[in-house]
Amino acid sequence: MAGTLILFFSVPVRADPITGPRENPTRLDRWAETLGWQLGVQAYSFNRFTFFEAVDKTAALGLKYIEAYPGQRIGAGTGDTAVMSFTMSPGARAAVKKKCADSGIRLTNFGVVTPGSTGEWRELFEFAREMSISTIVTEPAPEKMDLVEALCDEFKINIAIHNHPKPSRYWNPDTVLALISNRSERIGLCADTGHWRRSGLDPLACLKKCEGRIISLHFKDLNQVEQPAHDVPWGTGVNNVWGMLTELKRQKFKGVFSIEYEYNWNNSMPEISQCIQYFNLVSAALSPYGFRPLFKTGLSDAQFPAGGWVMTNDILSAQGKGDIWTKTRYSNFVLKVEYKTKKDSNSGVFLRTGSIQNWLHTGMEIQILDQPNDNPKHRSGALYDVLAPVEQMQKKTGEWNRYTIIANDNRIYVILNGEQVINADLDQWTEAHKNPDGTPNKFNTAYKDMPREGYIGLQYHGTPIWYKGLLVKALW
């Protein structure tokens, strides 16, 4: 295959299906595809603009999917009054299809739309078939469900029932689940995770409750539990996006995530771009492909003092003679680490260390500590001396703990025992010896100037420590 580099990894789970030049910077977005996930935009995010402009913005964000909503002006060449609708003219339909095709965008979903009469429902399904729409997002009256089910099976098109906030008809997923029980698999939920939160529900708990019936999502993260709340970039709010994506992966969900970003309407592109980056990074961490052992069983690819570390039955343990380091330097990566402590154990995971001899001031440490420390920035999960974990997730002494650590350019994410505890933007650390919150730290280098490539290491700090499940995936 001329011009294509086929990559083979030593992967303990399965072979990597992704091929393509390593230097291709768009490769990161392909990990979601290995999970069967498609990320797109609900055009309502751009409701201050025309549908054509929404398509242009979606393409500019590097996405390939869009969900249209009724009532949005279509755009240039279709007339000032032409809007997206299942009743729009043949000429408008042709213009929409051409615009999407020319832009490399697929129109996957349409909604929220809820016809009244039997004739209107059939017209909606005929429109969806003509436009190659796979899912209609709707809030149908219960008495219409027999009709809707028959049309789903006739047209081979899905219905996803949407939840507007309380007191709307379907704000509680229990209502939807009762309505669709024993109905066609083509009838399920469009899970609006922001509206669940606005209704006083836990979105993660709702996803678990709806297992097997989720067809698509209006995916959101919100700034606070209390209402009114507004959208924020994914991973920075209260909706536990890491947890929701992990749960959807566990459920083997395959389908469309529509970004419906309902804030900063006129200039939301930078924030939506942050959502996309976070989604792609979490997808990379959750996809089983592409991981390789951090160290070989014989530790031939490691640097450490003679006799300092041993690997026995796939468990790496310190023998009291110093730290252990990779021989390979890593820049952007996902690192999986399991560790176990003894009473009062102290250790850490070093990232991107530029100089092993000067590790303290040329790298970052994710702390491991058996017991909570009075200084929150010294507890397990902390970016040591720099940023405290948002929760204390360390397990009891002697139990195995799990880290997932993501390093991507200026972002560091730390997930400890399934909970994201660190979301750090290194560019906010602009001064040596000073954190953004004004507290001091011990480092001679401002974190924004720390190396963005270096060795990964595990610390021996004078106390017993055990590691296993050490896997790394390079990102580019």
Calpha distance 262→277 (Å, rounded): 18
The DSSP bridge pattern shows strands 411-416 and 419-425 to be antiparallel
54-58 contacts, C-beta under 8 A, 24 or more apart:
55/99, 55/100, 55/103, 55/105, 56/103, 57/269, 58/103, 58/105
Instruction: pLDDT tens for the chain, 476 residues: list them.
Output: 333 333 323 333 344 444 433 334 346 889 999 999 999 999 999 999 999 999 999 999 999 999 999 999 999 888 889 999 999 999 999 999 999 999 999 999 999 999 999 999 999 999 999 999 999 999 999 999 999 999 999 999 999 999 999 999 999 999 999 999 999 999 999 999 999 999 999 999 999 999 999 999 999 999 999 999 999 999 999 999 999 999 999 999 999 999 999 999 999 999 999 999 999 999 999 999 999 999 999 999 999 999 999 999 999 999 999 999 999 999 999 999 999 999 999 999 999 999 999 999 999 999 999 988 899 999 999 999 999 999 999 999 999 999 999 999 999 999 999 999 999 999 999 999 999 999 999 999 999 999 999 999 999 999 999 999 999 999 97
- Say which residue the tokens 């209609």 belong to: 136
What confidence score (pLDDT) does residue 22 get? 35
Calpha distance 121→16 (Å, rounded): 44
Query: Would 26-286 and 293-474 be classified into the same CATH topology?
Result: no
Burial of 242 (0-12, 13-18, 19+ CB in 10 A): buried
CATH number of 293-474: 2.60.120.560
What confidence score (pLDDT) does residue 27 get? 67
Cis peptide before 112 (omega within 30 of 0): yes
Tell me how crowded residue 60 is: count the other CB atoms within 10 A of its CB. Answer: 11
86 in Cβ contact with 113 (< 8 Å): yes
Domain positions in the chain are 26-286, 293-474
- Name residues whose C-beta falls within 8 Å of residue 307's C-beta, 6 or more positions apart in sequence: 319, 321
Question: Strand ranges (DSSP E) for 103-183?
Answer: 106-110, 135-138, 158-162
126-129 contacts, C-beta under 8 A, 24 or more apart:
126/155, 127/86, 127/87, 127/93, 128/86, 128/155, 128/157, 129/155, 129/157
Helices (H), 199-321: 203-209, 241-250, 269-286
What confidence score (pLDDT) does residue 28 get? 83
| HSE, side-chain direction, 13 A CA sphere, residue 112 | 15
Task: Estimate to the nearest angstrom the gap between the alpha carbon of 106 and the chain centroid.
Answer: 21
At the top level of CATH, the class of 26-286 is alpha beta
- Report residue 419: phi and psi, to 5°: -120, 130
pTM: 0.93
Calpha distance 201→67 (Å, rounded): 25
What confidence score (pLDDT) does residue 79 get? 85
213 in Cβ contact with 182 (< 8 Å): no
Question: Which letter does DSSP use for residue 222 in this model?
Answer: B
C-alpha distances in Å from residue 237, one per residue of 52, 245, 265, 275: 30, 14, 18, 11
C-alpha distances in Å from residue 27, one per residue of 69, 237, 416: 30, 26, 26
What confidence score (pLDDT) does residue 347 get? 98
> What's the sign of the alpha-carbon dihedral 150, 152, 155, 156?
negative
What confidence score (pLDDT) does residue 371 get? 84
Closest CA to 173 of 141, 149, 196: 196
pLDDT digits (tens, 9 = 90+) for 168-190: 999 999 999 999 999 999 999 99
What confidence score (pLDDT) does residue 78 get? 87
Local structure of 195: helix, strand or coil = helix
Helices (H), 302-428: 359-362
- Report residue 218: phi and psi, to 5°: -100, 100
Separation of first and last alpha carbons in the chain: 22
What confidence score (pLDDT) does residue 146 get? 98
Calpha distance 407→441 (Å, rounded): 21
What confidence score (pLDDT) does residue 372 get? 81
Calpha distance 122→108 (Å, rounded): 19
Local structure of 292: helix, strand or coil = strand
